[in-house]
Amino acid sequence: MPSSARLAVWEALSDLFLDTDVRALEDGIVATLTASPYDVDEIEDILLWEIYPACRRNLEVVAGEWAGFEAAWLSEHVVRPQSVLGRMHTATFGRIWVRCSPEWRRIKTRLIGS
């Protein structure tokens, strides 16, 4: 079971994968991430290596999750080991997604500025 701080970061970052406009959620995401014990680089690693593999499929379906991922679901799916192909996918496409995500870039800029 993840620490409460880690779970809060997972929940905040998973909002970036919702099938909705997440701009209205950004203040809450930034507040949660700022209050966490992790620095920006650690948060970005959590986004890439823990949240992206668990939540990316939500962006690929027509009617994905839009209300939020439950903590229990995240706890189960984030800790699942990735296959070699899954790790390769994350290392390539996940990095591209993280670098190109306008939501993450806005949030990261705010984190760096705080």
Biggest CA–CA distance in the chain, Å, is 37
Tens of pLDDT along the chain (114 residues) come to: 678 899 999 999 999 998 888 899 999 999 999 999 999 999 999 999 999 999 988 877 665 556 678 888 888 888 888 889 989 999 999 999 999 999 999 999 999 987
**How much is the pTM?**
0.89
Can you give the residue ranges of every domain in the chain? 4-113
